[in-house]
Amino acid sequence: MNKSDLVAAIADGSGLNKADAARALSATTGAISDALASGDKVSITGFGSFLVRSRAARSGRNPQTGATIYISASKVPAFKAGKLLKESVN
């Protein structure tokens, strides 16, 4: 499912037209992105949680040359599925 498929599913399920559903989806993803950028966790009961995880600095290898490179520490977005989502998939 891509973004346009998701917009169509939101429009069908909510009774909104596709333009309003697209704006709602953009607002939702924007709010989640803003919350994660400020270090907050976003929890949607039954669905899951969006959070930011810290990735430690480490050494790696350049696959082309085999040379050792330094990979700096970073923060990455993560999603942890909720119980109801896990059950619906299984």
Q: Which domains does the chain have, with CATH numbers?
A: 3-89 (4.10.520.10)
Looking at residue 85, its pLDDT comes to: 94
pTM over 0.75: yes
Q: How many CB atoms lie within 10 A of CB 7?
A: 20
Residues 20-40 have pLDDT tens digits of 999 999 999 999 999 999 999
Residues 44-86 have pLDDT tens digits of 999 999 999 999 999 999 999 999 999 999 999 999 999 999 9
- Cβ within 8 Å of residue 24, ≥6 positions away: 10, 14, 16
